[in-house]
C-alpha cells in the first residue's frame, strides 16, 4: 500500500511532467524520468545516453537501455544500502556500501558476486578501479572513540583480497581518478589525499582552510569541492591548493561533477544546484524540477544525468553550451 509521502511525491512528479510537456522547457531544460520505485537512488552510471544503471538505498540495481522508458531490476544485497557504482565498461562493474559490502558484476549488472571486506562495521561510500585487478574503496568505520573514523582498502587481485591501509583523516566520502588514471584522489574531512602509484602511497593536503566538504571533482588541473553550509571551492593546480567560494549557508552540496576544465555542477539537498563555466571561480544557481535531494550526477554523450531521493532521476542535454577544452 502506498504511503501518504509516496502518493504526494507521485503527484509532484506528475505535475512536473505535465509542466515539461506543456511548455517544452522547464527548469533549465531538465527532463524527468519516471522510475518504478520511490527508493532513494544513491548513484548513477550511464554507459551511453540511453544505457546505464542506478543503485538504491535498499540494495538493488536497476538497468535501462532506453533512457529510462523501461528498467530491469537485480538484487545486489537486499535491504542493505548501496552507496556507489564504478564501471570499467558496459559489462564489468563494481558496487559498494554498508556492512563492508563490495560486489562485482561481469554481465552489466544482471548478477553480482560478493567480494566484501571482512569487517561488517565498515561503510564504503565510493570505489574506483585502476584496472581489472587494482582498485581502492573508501568510507568510514565508526569506533567507540570516533564515530567518523575513515577507512580505505586496496585490492591488487580483483577483489579476492582487500588490504586496509593506515587512516589519514575522517570519513572518506569519495574517491576519484584522473582521466589518464595516473592519479587517485580521496577526500577526508578537510583534507585531500593524492596518490601517484595506484594507491600504494598517499600525500595529504589541506583543503578550504580545513573546512569539511562532502564531494569533489577533478578534471586535469581544475578541481571543485563542495559540502554542507554552502561550502564551495576550486583548485587550479590539480588539488594541491584550494580557494573558497562559499555560498548560501542554507545549502548543502552532496554531489559534484566537472564536464571539462571549465564547466561543472554541484548539487544537493532540496534540489540545490549551481553551475560554473569558468572552472569554479564564479557560480550561478540553476533551477531544478523538484525540491528533492540530488545524490549523484554523471555525464555522457553531451547528456548530464542526476539521481536522488524518492526515485528522482532526470537529465538534460548540454548541447553547444559546453565550453571546449
DSSP sequence for 134-189: -EEEEEE---SS-TTBEEEEEESSTTS--EEE---SB----EEE-TTSS-EEEEET
Q: Which of 184, 113, 180 is nearest to 152 (CA)?
A: 184
**Nearest-angstrom CA–CA distance, 262 and 282:** 10
- In the structure grid, which three cell numbers stand for residue 259, read together? 564536464
C-alpha cell at 224: 571543485
Helix (H, G, I), strand (E, B) or coil at 310: helix
Q: Is the pLDDT of residue 306 over 60?
A: yes
pTM for this prediction: 0.89
Higher pLDDT: 20 or 322? It is 322
| Residue 52, C-alpha cell as written in the block | 546505464
Whole-number Å distance between alpha carbons of 265 and 271: 13
Backbone angles phi, psi at 114, to 5 degrees: -80, 115
Q: What was the pLDDT predicted at 24?
A: 35
Which pLDDT score is estimated for 165? 85
Q: What is the pLDDT of residues 52-73, one digit of tens each?
A: 999 999 999 999 999 999 999 9
Contact assessment for residue 208 and residue 226, using Cβ atoms and an 8 Å cutoff: no
Report the distance separating Cα 95 and Cα 83, nearest Å.
Answer: 8
* Mean pLDDT calculated for residue range 23-41: 80
Distance separating alpha carbons of residues 76 and 110, to the nearest angstrom:
9
d(CA 265, CA 275): 4
What is the per-residue pLDDT across 256-277, written as a single tens digit (0 to 9) for each?
999 999 999 999 999 999 999 9
| Residue-level pLDDT at 169 | 67
**What is the per-residue pLDDT across 105-147, written as a single tens digit (0 to 9) for each?**
999 999 999 999 999 999 999 999 999 999 999 999 988 777 7
Q: Cell 546505464 identifies what position? A: 52
Q: Where does the pLDDT of residue 98 fall: very low under 50, low under 70, confident under 90, or very high at 90 and above?
A: very high
Which of 43, 114, 44 is CA-nearest to residue 78? 114
Q: Which strand (E) or helix (H) includes residue 207?
A: none
Torsion angles phi and psi, residue 304, rounded to 5: -105, 125
Which SS3 state, helix, strand or coil, does residue 4 take? helix
| HEC-encoded secondary structure of 260-302 | CCCCEEEEEHHHCEEEECCCCCCCEECCCCCCCCEEEEEEECC
Are 96 and 84 in contact, with CB atoms under 8 Å apart? yes
Determine the Cα–Cα distance for residues 288 and 120; give it in Å rounded to an integer. Answer: 37
Cell (9 digits) for 185 = 584522489
Looking at residue 257, what DSSP letter applies? E
CA separation (Å) from 255 to 82, 150, 161, 202, 288? 16, 19, 30, 24, 14
Amino acid at each position: 500500500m502506498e504511503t501518504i509521502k509516496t502518493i504526494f511525491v507521485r503527484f509532484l512528479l506528475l505535475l512536473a511532467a505535465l509542466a515539461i510537456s506543456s511548455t517544452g522547457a522547464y527548469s533549465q531544460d531538465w527532463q524527468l524520468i519516471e522510475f518504478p520505485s520511490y527508493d532513494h537512488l544513491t548513484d548513477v552510471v550511464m554507459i551511453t545516453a540511453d544505457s546505464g544503471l542506478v543503485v538504491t538505498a535498499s540494495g538493488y540495481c536497476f538497468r535501462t537501455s532506453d533512457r529510462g522508458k523501461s528498467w530491469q531490476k537485480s538484487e545486489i544485497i537486499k535491504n542493505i544500502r548501496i552507496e556507489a557504482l564504478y564501471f570499467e565498461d558496459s559489462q564489468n562493474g563494481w558496487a559498494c556500501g554498508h556492512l563492508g559490502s563490495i560486489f562485482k558484476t561481469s554481465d552489466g549488472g544482471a548478477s553480482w558476486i560478493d567480494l566484501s571486506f571482512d569487517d561488517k562495521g565498515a561503510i564504503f561510500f565510493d570505489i574506483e578501479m585502476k584496472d581489472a585487478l587494482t582498485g581502492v574503496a573508501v568510507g568510514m568505520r565508526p569506533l567507540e572513540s570516533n564515530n567518523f573514523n575513515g577507512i580505505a582498502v586496496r585490492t591488487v587481485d580483483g577483489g579476492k583480497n582487500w588490504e586496509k591501509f593506515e587512516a589519514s583523516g575522517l570519513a572518506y566520502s569519495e574517491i576519484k581518478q584522473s582521466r589518464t588514471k595516473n592519479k587517485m584522489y580521496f577526500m577526508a574531512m578537510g583534507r585531500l589525499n593524492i596518490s601517484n602509484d595506484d594507491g600504494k602511497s598517499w600525500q595529504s593536503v589541506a583543503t578550504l582552510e580545513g573546512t569539511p566538504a562532502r564531494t569533489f571533482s577533478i578534471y586535469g588541473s581544475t578541481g571543485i569541492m563542495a559540502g554542507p553550509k554552502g561550502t564551495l571551492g576550486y583548485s587550479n593546480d590539480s588539488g594541491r591548493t584550494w580557494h573558497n567560494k562559499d555560498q548560501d549557508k542554507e545549502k548543502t552540496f552532496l554531489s559534484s561533477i566537472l564536464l571539462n576544465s571549465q564547466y561543472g555542477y554541484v548539487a544537493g539537498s532540496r534540489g540545490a544546484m549551481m553551475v560554473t563555466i569558468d572552472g569554479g571561480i564564479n557560480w550561478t544557481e540553476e533551477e531544478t524540477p523538484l525540491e528533492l535531494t540530488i545524490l549523484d550526477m554523471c555525464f555522457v554523450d553531451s547528456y548530464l544525468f542526476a539521481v536522488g531521493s524518492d526515485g528522482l532521476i532526470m537529465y538534460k542535454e548540454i548541447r553547444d553550451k559546453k565550453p571546449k577544452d
